[in-house]
Structure 1
Amino acid sequence: MNNKLLSWLLFTLLCFIWGSSFILMKEGKTALTAAQIASLRIFSAGIVFIPFAFYHIRFIPRKKMGLMVVTGLFGNLFPAFLFAAAIIKLDSSLEGILNSLTPICMVIIGIAFFKDKIEWQKILGVIVGFAGLCLLAISRQDINLGNLGYAGLVVLATIFYGLNVNIVGHFLKDIRPVHMASVSLAFMSVPAGIVLWSQGFFSLDFSVRDLQWSVLNVVVLGIVGSAFATVLFYALVQKAGPLFASLVTYGIPFVALFWGALVGETITIKDIACLLLILLGVFLAKLQIGKKVVDR
């Protein structure tokens, strides 16, 4: 398959998976606390990967083993807890907008700490796409700021994501995505399991239907939204570069509107115009002008 086509396929699939994660978290909070949601999510992802990690760890250079822990912390564990805590109080629409700060954080961290040189049209694309997201939020008039402290949790998560994308793009390019994801998430299953136990999860009454439904949603979120999606994301970073991979967060509104349409919500011309503006931003960020320069 053509490398460009594969990159767009991975991009689209990740948009759908992560765009659906807010719904799963919302369902999870029906009978679980924020800490239980986050720890069960990462624990489920790690447990799935443990058998593979025992085999894949041999392909990870020992000098990069510390980076496996770092990428697991900043790319999965910490953001999972931050998002779970925020979803308890924030509207999913606001959380989606704040999550889309990831590309901006990635660019700032890349330039400030990794001395990246990013083409002007890529930076313009990030700005145009984010402008489209803000206009979409305003046009739908469903943003409720709520508690700014919870909004800050999501912003901190995007900073962690931006840092992790730069780490993967600069220091782990030679490691296969499935090896990276399986080993890092297997490591994270240990602290996640400890938190899950300390939160009394294993003492809950699992005969309660609401609890069963919440657990099911969070386990699906962990296996698909963390384990499977992490492999896809690291593959996208390696194939298309960190900046383009981080723009996956710009695809979340498309998925949100898709779910909204399924339940009978109205999609307006303004919505479509904003989505086209977001697409323009993604196109500009991916566009190559003149000499090909990879954004990593």
Structure 2
Amino acid sequence: MTKPFTKHAVSSPDAVFRSPVNRSLQAWLLLILVALIWGTSFILIKHSLTVFSAMQVGTGRIFLALVFFLPYLVVRWRQFPRSRWLPLLGSGMLGYLIPAVLFATAGAHLNSSLAGTLNALSPLFTFLIGISLFGRQAKTQQIGGILLGFAGSVFLVFFSNTGSFEFNGYAFLIVLATLCYGFNINIVARYLSDLPALLSTASTFSLVGPIALLGLATTDFPARISAPGSTPALLMLLTLGMIGSGFATILFNRIIQLKSGVFASTVTYLIPVVAVLWGLFDGEPLHWPQVAGMGICLLGVYLINKK
């Protein structure tokens, strides 16, 4: 006799997407996609700087991200979370505007591979800020994974340019940018994670986008756009802003919602792989310390997320 159908016999579609297994899989897939997008951003910064200044690249990509979100903001302006304006502004400044300018400034003096690998310091600062200011708890294994990733990052900082021991002072600007990222990830996880990812991201850029426009207005950006041969650099800057700072940020905030801020910050361990591959394609040299450093970083990712 056939068992009668009941409402409990088959899980609803919503239950399927809420299940821990599916949430974890979605988080990992989004993590890989964001790593691909952000890993490509360093080579885009490098070639954008052939026409535009560091200030123009940094502020321009943030303003273009605002342009990307503008249609959504116009339609949903009533839904802007006014009570969250302060964490939204803090997230926008620390997570996007300030790091964008710092990375562009450093990108004028570092190759894209090194800039991408230095990004892997973010999880360390995310962890330290989380436990010191936001009361986050950490397991011994998680601490070991983050420290291992940090060790791999330090290895890359000192060896990735030539294969010999050296240090570039502009690397400090990227370290400062990753410190900002650490604050931002904790702010999003603590104060904004309950907001829909699209609403949260669009609201953030609605606050910092006008600030970026003011910074851009102080430069000769219009003259550089109209200069002969500027089109390729302008297209790269558009990609940086709309895809790198716009679309990918939605995905990143969704990762924080699905898992945690620390898990989301591990995207910076995968970014160096993409950045180095783009560097090779662009003629930048690859030395064995880079390969070793990336391997150590990826082992840290495994330990951080191992059950």
Partner of 2:278 in structure 1? 259
TM-superposed CA distance for 1:260, in Å, is 4.5
Partner of 2:38 in structure 1? 18
Partner of 1:74 in structure 2? 94
* Change in CA separation of 1:267 and 1:251 when aligned onto 2, cut-off 3 Å: same
Identify the range of structure 1 (252-261 vs 76-85) with the bigger mean alpha-carbon deviation. Answer: 252-261
- Confirm whether residue 151 of structure 1 aligns to residue 175 of structure 2: no
TM-score, normalised relative to structure 2: 0.85
SS in 1 for 2:266: helix
Partner of 1:236 in structure 2? 255
Instruction: Name the CA distance, whole Å, in 1 between partners of 2:174 and 2:293.
Output: 23
Instruction: Name the CA distance, whole Å, in 1 between partners of 2:36 and 2:175.
Output: 21
The structure 2 residue matched to 1:249, chosen from 256, 265, 268, is 268
For residues 256-295 of structure 1, the aligned pairs below 5 Å read 256-260=275-279, 262=281, 274-288=293-307
The structure 1 residue matched to 2:106, chosen from 86, 101, 107, is 86
Instruction: Name the CA distance, whole Å, in 2 between partners of 1:86 and 1:255.
Output: 19
* Change in CA separation of 1:51 and 1:119 when aligned onto 2, cut-off 3 Å: same
TM-superposed CA distance for 1:270, in Å, is 6.9
The structure 1 residue matched to 2:125, chosen from 105, 110, 114, is 105
TM-superposed CA distance for 1:257, in Å, is 3.4
Identify the range of structure 1 (117-126 vs 135-144) with the bigger mean alpha-carbon deviation. Answer: 135-144
* Change in CA separation of 1:269 and 1:109 when aligned onto 2, cut-off 3 Å: closer
Instruction: Name the CA distance, whole Å, in 1 between partners of 2:74 and 2:144.
Output: 43
Q: Answer whether contact 1:40 1:218 (CA < 8 A) is retained.
A: yes
SS in 2 for 1:204: helix
Deviations 1:182-235 (A, max 9, x none): 1111222211111212102123352511x2221111111111110011101100
TM-score, normalised relative to structure 1: 0.88
* Change in CA separation of 1:139 and 1:156 when aligned onto 2, cut-off 3 Å: closer
TM-superposed CA distance for 1:98, in Å, is 2.7
Instruction: Name the CA distance, whole Å, in 1 between partners of 2:224 and 2:284.
Output: 36
Instruction: Name the CA distance, whole Å, in 2 between partners of 1:160 and 1:260.
Output: 25
Number of paired residues? 285
Root-mean-square deviation (CA), in Å? 2.3
Q: Answer whether contact 1:93 1:137 (CA < 8 A) is retained.
A: no
- What is the identity, as a one-letter code, of the residue corresponding to 1:171? Y
Extract unaligned runs of 5+ from structure 1: 289-296
Identify the range of structure 1 (153-162 vs 88-97) with the bigger mean alpha-carbon deviation. Answer: 88-97
Partner of 1:65 in structure 2? 85
- What is the identity, as a one-letter code, of the residue corresponding to 1:131? A
TM-superposed CA distance for 1:244, in Å, is 0.9
- What is the identity, as a one-letter code, of the residue corresponding to 2:237? V
Instruction: Name the CA distance, whole Å, in 1 between partners of 2:219 and 2:300.
Output: 42
Q: Answer whether contact 1:60 1:179 (CA < 8 A) is retained.
A: yes
* Change in CA separation of 1:273 and 1:195 when aligned onto 2, cut-off 3 Å: closer
* Change in CA separation of 1:188 and 1:266 when aligned onto 2, cut-off 3 Å: closer
Instruction: Name the CA distance, whole Å, in 1 between partners of 2:283 and 2:112.
Output: 18
* Change in CA separation of 1:83 and 1:266 when aligned onto 2, cut-off 3 Å: closer
TM-superposed CA distance for 1:51, in Å, is 1.8
* Change in CA separation of 1:8 and 1:35 when aligned onto 2, cut-off 3 Å: same
Instruction: Name the CA distance, whole Å, in 1 between partners of 2:242 and 2:224.
Output: 21
TM-superposed CA distance for 1:85, in Å, is 1.1
Q: Answer whether contact 1:47 1:186 (CA < 8 A) is retained.
A: no
Q: Answer whether contact 1:132 1:277 (CA < 8 A) is retained.
A: yes
Q: Answer whether contact 1:35 1:81 (CA < 8 A) is retained.
A: yes
- Confirm whether residue 131 of structure 1 aligns to residue 154 of structure 2: no
Deviations 1:217-259 (A, max 9, x none): 1111111110011101100111110001011111122113332
Instruction: Name the CA distance, whole Å, in 1 between partners of 2:130 and 2:23.
Output: 24
- Confirm whether residue 3 of structure 1 aligns to residue 18 of structure 2: no
TM-superposed CA distance for 1:141, in Å, is 5.3
The structure 2 residue matched to 1:192, chosen from 204, 207, 212, is 212
- Confirm whether residue 206 of structure 1 aligns to residue 226 of structure 2: yes
- What is the identity, as a one-letter code, of the residue corresponding to 2:246? A
Instruction: Name the CA distance, whole Å, in 2 between partners of 1:153 and 1:138.
Output: 15
* Change in CA separation of 1:77 and 1:266 when aligned onto 2, cut-off 3 Å: closer
